[in-house]
Structure 1
Amino acid sequence: MSAITLILWVVVAVFAGALMRAIFGFGEAIVSMPLLALLPIPLQTSVSLIGLAGLTVAILTLFRGRQHIDRPVLIRLAITTSIGVPVGLIVLNTVPSTIITSGLGMFLIAYGFYCIAKKRLYRAVEHPLLNDRGWALPFGFASGVLGSAYNMNGVPVVVFGTLRGWAPDRLRGTLQAHFVVSGALVVVGHAIGGLWSNESFSYFAFSLPAILGATVLGTYLNKRIPTPKFELYLFLVIVALGILLLLPRGVH
Structure 2
Amino acid sequence: MLLACAVVAFGWFWGGMVSGISGVGAVMVAMPLATLVVSPAESVLLSNLVGMYSSIHMGAAYHRSCVWKDVRGLVIGSLPGCVLGVLVLKVAPPQTLQIMISAVLALFVLMQAFRRSASWQIPSSTGIGIAVGVACGFAGGSVTMVGAPLGIYALLRHWDPDRARGNMSVFYVFTGTGAVAAQACAGLYTMDLFPIALAGMAACFVGQNIGIRLGRSLDQVLFRRILIVFLSLSAVFLFVRATI
Shared fold (TM-score greater than 0.5)? yes
Select which of 165, 175, 190 maps to 1:197: 190
Deviates more, 1:81-90 or 1:137-146: 81-90
Q: Is the 8 A contact 2:161 2:218 kept in 1?
A: no
Q: Tell me, in whole angstroms, the C-alpha distance in 2 between the residues paired with 1:220 and 1:231.
A: 18
Q: Tell me, in whole angstroms, the C-alpha distance in 2 between the residues paired with 1:250 and 1:180.
A: 31
Paired amino acid for 1:157 = L
Question: Which aligned pairs between 1:88-103 and structure 2 lie closer than 5 A?
Answer: 88-91=85-88, 95-103=92-100
Question: Which aligned pairs between 1:63-212 and structure 2 lie closer than 5 A?
Answer: 63-91=60-88, 95-115=92-112, 117-118=113-114, 121-122=115-116, 126=119, 128-212=121-205
Q: Is the 8 A contact 2:122 2:156 kept in 1?
A: yes
Question: Structure 1 pair 196/145, CA: closer, same or farther in 2 (3 Å)?
Answer: farther
Q: Tell me, in whole angstroms, the C-alpha distance in 2 between the residues paired with 1:136 and 1:97.
A: 26
Instruction: Specify the SS of the correspondent of 1:198.
Output: coil
In structure 2, the residue matched to 1:21 is 19
Question: Structure 1 pair 193/149, CA: closer, same or farther in 2 (3 Å)?
Answer: farther
In structure 2, the residue matched to 1:219 is 212
Deviates more, 1:189-198 or 1:75-84: 189-198
Q: Tell me, in whole angstroms, the C-alpha distance in 1 between the residues paired with 2:70 and 2:219.
A: 26
Q: Tell me, in whole angstroms, the C-alpha distance in 1 between the residues paired with 2:175 and 2:32.
A: 22
Question: Which aligned pairs between 1:52-71 and structure 2 lie closer than 5 A?
Answer: 52-71=49-68
Paired amino acid for 1:188 = A
Q: Tell me, in whole angstroms, the C-alpha distance in 1 between the residues paired with 2:234 and 2:130.
A: 24
Instruction: Specify the SS of the correspondent of 1:65.
Output: helix
**Residue 183 (structure 1) shift:** 1.1
| Residue-by-residue CA offset, 1:83-123 (whole Å, 9 max, x unaligned) | 233344445555443333333223222212322x13xx349
Paired amino acid for 2:196 = Y
Question: Structure 1 pair 226/248, CA: closer, same or farther in 2 (3 Å)?
Answer: same
C-alpha root-mean-square deviation of aligned residues, in Å? 2.6
**Residue 40 (structure 1) shift:** 4.7
Q: Is the 8 A contact 1:51 1:183 kept in 2?
A: yes
Instruction: Specify the SS of the correspondent of 1:26.
Output: coil
Instruction: Specify the SS of the correspondent of 2:61.
Output: coil
In structure 2, the residue matched to 1:44 is 41
**Matched-pair identity in %:** 23
Paired amino acid for 2:15 = G
Question: Structure 1 pair 7/146, CA: closer, same or farther in 2 (3 Å)?
Answer: same
Runs of 4+ in 1 over 6 A off after TM superposition: none
Paired amino acid for 1:28 = A
Paired amino acid for 2:104 = F
Q: Is the 8 A contact 2:9 2:202 kept in 1?
A: no
Query: For structure 2, which runs of at least 5 residues remain unmatched after alignment?
Result: none
**Residue 250 (structure 1) shift:** 10
In structure 1, the residue matched to 2:240 is 247
In structure 1, the residue matched to 2:231 is 238
**Residue 49 (structure 1) shift:** 1.0
Paired amino acid for 2:7 = W
